[in-house]
Chain A
Amino acid sequence: MFAPLTYLTGAALAVLALLAAYGLARGRPIDNPMFWTGLVAEGLIVVQLVVGVALSGHGGHGMSAALFIAYLAGLVVALPVAGVWAIAERESRSSSGVILVAALGLLVMLVRLVQIWNGHG
C-alpha cells in the first residue's frame, strides 16, 4: 500500500469522526464542514481503491488479493450510504450519529486493510 495515501485517508476519517462526535454531542445534524470532509475522505478512498487494485499483486507474503479488494470495495460504498442517510435524517442529531458510526467503522476497516496487505489476513 502507498503509505502517505493511507495516512491521509486515516487523517480525513479521524477529522470526520471528530466533527460527527461534536455534532452528535451538540445535537446537530450534518453540516457543511462534515459534508466536505466526508467528500475528501471518499475521494481519497476511491484513489485508494484504484491504487490498491493496481498494486494488489505486490502485497506482503501470504496476502489474500480477493480479501484485500473486497475490503477496498466495502470502504468505497460506506460513506455515500451514510451520507445519503445523514442528509435524509437532517432534522435530528442521529444524522451526525450515523456519520460517526461510518467514520469509526471505516477507520477500523482501514487498519484491517493494512493488516491484510501485510499478509496478516
Chain B
Amino acid sequence: MRVNSGFGRILVALYALFALAATGRSVLQISQTWPHPALPYLLSALAAVVYIVATVALARGGDRNARIALYTISFELLGVIAVGIWSYADGAAFVAQGQAGDTTVWAKFGQGYGYVPLLLPILGLWWLRHTRRAAPDEVR
C-alpha cells in the first residue's frame, strides 16, 4: 500500500481542507492587525505552513516524502498538544481584540474545529506506520 493511495487520498483531502482553512484564517488575521499581529495569529500561520507541507508530502508519496510527512505530522501533533495546554494554562494570551474563545486553529486542542486538528495527526501517523509496515520487502 502506497502512502498516497487508498485512505491516503482521503487523508490528503482532509489535510488540504485544513491547509485552506488555516491559510485563509491566518492571512486575514495577520493582514487585519498588521504590523502588530497577536501571538495566536502567528500560531495560525505556523499551523497553515505545517498543513501545507504535510498535504504536499502526503500527496506526492514515495520514501522521501513519507519521511517529510512523518516529521511535519509529528511536529503538528506536538504543536496541537503544546498550544492546547498553553491555551488552557494562559487563556489571556489567546484572547485578542476583545474576542472571546479560540483565536488560533490549535487553541484548546482544536475545539473550534470539532477537535479534528487533534485527531488528524494521530490518523496521519497511524497511516504512515500502516503503509510502512505493509511494505516489508523494502530495505531500510
Closest residue of A by beta carbon distance from B10? A97
> Interface residues of A: mostly helix, strand, loop or mixed?
helix
Closest residue of chain A to B114 (Cβ to Cβ) is A108
Question: CB-CB < 8 A to A66: which residues of B?
Answer: 28, 32
Flag B5-34 by CB within 8 Å of A: 1 or 0 each: 111111001100100110010001000100
| A94→B9 contact, CB < 8 A | yes
DSSP majority for the B interface? Answer: helix
- Write out, one digit per residue, whether chain B residues 77-115 have a CB within 8 A of any chain A CB (1) or not (0): 000000000000000000000010000000000000110
Taking the complex as formed, is A101 at the interface, i.e. its CB lies under 8 A from any CB of chain B?
Answer: yes
Q: Are A101 and B28 in contact (CB under 8 A)?
A: no
Q: Chain B nearest CB: distance from A38 CB in Å?
A: 14
List residues of chain B with CB within 8 A of the CB of A100. 10
Chain B residues with Cβ below 8 Å from A74 are 20-21, 24
Given A74-B20, A105-B17, A121-B99, A89 and B28 contact (CB-CB distance below 8 Å):
no
In the bound complex, CA of A67 to CA of B24 (Å): 9
Please tell me if the beta carbons of A102 and B13 are within 8 angstroms of each other in the complex. Answer: yes
Taking CB atoms, residues of chain B closer than 8 Å to A70 are 24, 28
Given contacts A108-B114, A121-B99, contact A101 B24 (CB under 8 A): no
Q: Does A17 contact B (CB under 8 A)?
A: no
Contact B28 A98 (CB under 8 A): no
Q: Let me know if A85 and B20 touch, CB within 8 A.
A: no
- Docked pose: A9 CA to B14 CA in angstroms: 21
CB proximity of B45 to chain A, nearest CB, Å: 15
- Enumerate chain B residues within 8 angstroms of A121, measured Cβ to Cβ: 99
19 A-B pairs with CB atoms under 8 Å apart are: A74-B21, A78-B20, A82-B13, A85-B13, A89-B9, A92-B9, A94-B5, A94-B6, A94-B8, A94-B10, A97-B9, A98-B13, A100-B10, A101-B10, A101-B13, A101-B14, A101-B17, A105-B17, A108-B113
Q: Are B13 and A92 in contact (CB under 8 A)?
A: no
Determine the chain B residues whose CB is within 8 A of the CB of A67 once the complex forms.
28
